[in-house]
A and B are shown apart, each in its own frame.
Chain A
């Protein structure tokens, strides 16, 4: 069947709830309304208000509640309505959710999934287009993933809910309406494995979440220039699958890393630093980055100039090839 990414995630949550009574879904407007992006549509009708429920507008309370429920044996799925709304809950994320297993010497696990629609591209107002993955990746104790395909929307949601540790699932909101075939049951690669989506020989382009589609389009466009791009879907930002990246770099010798988040300290910096260390003698050029700018996210009318696009990726590809 052909479904959207939003529907695939919805089905993933649905099937996880059907398979395990301990799975709960809660957040702002996720129940009666079915979520502002309709990702949780019909779940409350199916599973009732005890298992799918609306919360007050208090993100800190949402994550705090998720931690408490997880301690008592539930497997909560909590939604932050928008990326920029996760900041009021930052303390619960960094001091408690991320550290409980470590502080209790492994005795208290927190199987919490936090779903966060993130990134720009939908013409939203300020604070609604953030790419905060750098904080999450930098916080030891959190796992961070981002699906870039419809199948991963389903499978990574299931895998995150099944994991015994907290997983932040960054859902690319601009791709919620992206359609593809989904045949169930589907299992994709393990949650923290990167995947080569398109083999190539000249330059490796690494992307995740919303930028995967853009990277694939860049690879199509590059063909016309006679460049063969290998596209790697990173999928997991913490931990990072270094082996798959090194293997690709051994084939191409050149790499461009793409994300919407600002350049400073972003996952692209982490990957570039790793490749410098792990694959130095395979490098034909420095690892280059095609990212958002080091400014706050602009008003909607300017976002097309701010977000990385095919041109920005290909400019960096050309630069890498010129070395």
Chain B
């Protein structure tokens, strides 16, 4: 029996699922306890698990990640929250220099089984410093795994996989998706990291999207169908590991590719996907590979401007029409 729950409640359910299963899992972050999280995604966890396993911290992201890293080194499996993904910049030294490299620098003797979960992306009019889609920062650092679910079911399944993984995982929750709903079955849900999902089958063009862009890609596919264009939509779900196989197999079938990214254009994940597909499936391509992205600018906060720059359904449709023509 599946129930309809929000992406926000899926976060709580995912954390609770893992904390009930394993005593070494604990949650740490700013306002995650008493306040239930600034997005209310961790509400109720303090009541169930108590203040030792659900801990509020001072407003110091470096301290949060430093503590999580130390805890992971000594046998716990911390879940650390960075309230807004933009704030990862204040503790990037710990992420890029320490966490990503510890396994390598110790020749595999020290692993860091920790998850950093963070509210990522735009759509809520929060301006240039609270709306960035920064998953590409993490993808550019060898040694990190990077996950960004688009719906409640995937959020729970991928989160469980992230907690159970022995290496650091950056888990990007798209903050504009928190109120969105999806069907989730009862019982434990665990998925595999590094697996993309074909959410709609098609034959003319492959659209690859992530997190908030998946729903828009599906809406674009609906509109394209009315024009007689059959689009296949792939929810990438995880950037590292990257499920190149699913994408390439799809492009071999459709011969066209459009990637849809929320982030600024230069050196986004779309560039990597396009480069890989172009190299691996060169002879199957019937037209230029197209990237639909936010322009290479800081994100504006004004409603009309934010709507203008984030990839819209119309821009995805236009990109696909161009790709197949």
A276 to B132, CA, bound (A): 27
For B86, what are the chain A residues with a Cβ–Cβ distance below 8 Å? 94-95
A286 to B263, CA, bound (A): 25
Within 8 A of A (CB), among B73-126: 86-87, 89-90, 92-93, 96-97, 100-101, 104-105
Is A127 at the interface (CB under 8 A from chain B)? yes
The answer to whether residues A90 and B93 also contact, given A138-B136, A238-B266, A265-B268 and a CB cut-off of 8 A, is: yes
For A46, what are the chain B residues with a Cβ–Cβ distance below 8 Å? none
Contact pattern, B 267-294, Cβ under 8 Å of A = 1, otherwise 0: 1111110110011001001011111000
Is B296 at the interface (CB under 8 A from chain A)? yes
Within 8 A of B (CB), among A24-74: none
Contact B104–A296 (Cβ < 8 Å): yes
Give how many B residues have a beta carbon under 8 Å from the other chain's beta carbons. 47
The answer to whether residues A287 and B297 also contact, given A95-B129, A265-B136, A296-B105 and a CB cut-off of 8 A, is: no
For B269, what are the chain A residues with a Cβ–Cβ distance below 8 Å? 265
Contact pattern, B 240-272, Cβ under 8 Å of A = 1, otherwise 0: 100000000000000000000001101111111
Q: Which of A147-155, A170-178, A225-233, A267-275 contacts B (4 or more CB under 8 A)?
A: A267-275
Among candidates A98, A277, A296, residue contacting B288 with C-beta atoms closer than 8 Å:
A277
A293 to B296, CA, bound (A): 26
Is B137 at the interface (CB under 8 A from chain A)? yes
Which residue on chain A has the smallest CB distance to residue B263? A138
A141 to B137, CA, bound (A): 15
Is B139 at the interface (CB under 8 A from chain A)? yes
Among candidates B136, B139, B298, residue contacting A141 with C-beta atoms closer than 8 Å:
B298
| Residue among A88, A140, A278 facing the most chain B CB atoms (10 A cut-off) | A140
Contact B101–A137 (Cβ < 8 Å): no
Contact A240–B266 (Cβ < 8 Å): yes
A272 to B289, CA, bound (A): 10
Q: Separation in Å of the B183 CB from the closest CB of chain A?
A: 34
Q: Separation in Å of the A83 CB from the closest CB of chain B?
A: 11
For B143, what are the chain A residues with a Cβ–Cβ distance below 8 Å? 295-296
For B300, what are the chain A residues with a Cβ–Cβ distance below 8 Å? 102
Which residue on chain A has the smallest CB distance to residue B132? A94
Contact A269–B142 (Cβ < 8 Å): no
A264 to B268, CA, bound (A): 10
Q: Separation in Å of the B270 CB from the closest CB of chain A?
A: 7
For B271, what are the chain A residues with a Cβ–Cβ distance below 8 Å? 265, 269-270, 272-273
Which residue on chain B has the smallest CB distance to residue A275? B278
Is A262 at the interface (CB under 8 A from chain B)? yes
A134 to B141, CA, bound (A): 9
A99 to B87, CA, bound (A): 15
Q: Separation in Å of the B250 CB from the closest CB of chain A?
A: 17
Contact B288–A276 (Cβ < 8 Å): yes
Is B199 at the interface (CB under 8 A from chain A)? no
| Residue among A98, A126, A273, A288 facing the most chain B CB atoms (10 A cut-off) | A273
Q: Separation in Å of the A252 CB from the closest CB of chain B?
A: 16
Is A200 at the interface (CB under 8 A from chain B)? no
Q: Separation in Å of the B19 CB from the closest CB of chain A?
A: 30
Among candidates A98, A135, A296, residue contacting B137 with C-beta atoms closer than 8 Å:
A135
Contact pattern, A 193-209, Cβ under 8 Å of B = 1, otherwise 0: 00000000000000000
A88 to B129, CA, bound (A): 17
Contact B279–A286 (Cβ < 8 Å): yes
Contact B272–A264 (Cβ < 8 Å): yes
Contact B142–A296 (Cβ < 8 Å): yes
Contact A140–B264 (Cβ < 8 Å): yes
Is B128 at the interface (CB under 8 A from chain A)? yes
Contact B275–A269 (Cβ < 8 Å): yes
The answer to whether residues A262 and B275 also contact, given A102-B298, A141-B298 and a CB cut-off of 8 A, is: no
| Residue among B143, B266, B297 facing the most chain A CB atoms (10 A cut-off) | B266
Is B140 at the interface (CB under 8 A from chain A)? yes
A139 to B291, CA, bound (A): 18
Is A103 at the interface (CB under 8 A from chain B)? yes
- Name 26 A/B residue pairs within 8 A (Cβ), A-sorted: A87-B92, A90-B92, A90-B93, A91-B90, A103-B127, A132-B96, A135-B140, A138-B264, A138-B268, A140-B264, A140-B266, A140-B297, A240-B266, A265-B272, A267-B267, A272-B279, A273-B275, A277-B288, A277-B290, A278-B288, A280-B287, A280-B289, A287-B275, A287-B278, A294-B142, A296-B101
- Beyond known contacts A90-B92, A265-B268: 9 more, CB 8 A cutoff: A88-B92, A99-B298, A137-B267, A138-B136, A138-B267, A265-B140, A272-B278, A295-B143, A296-B143
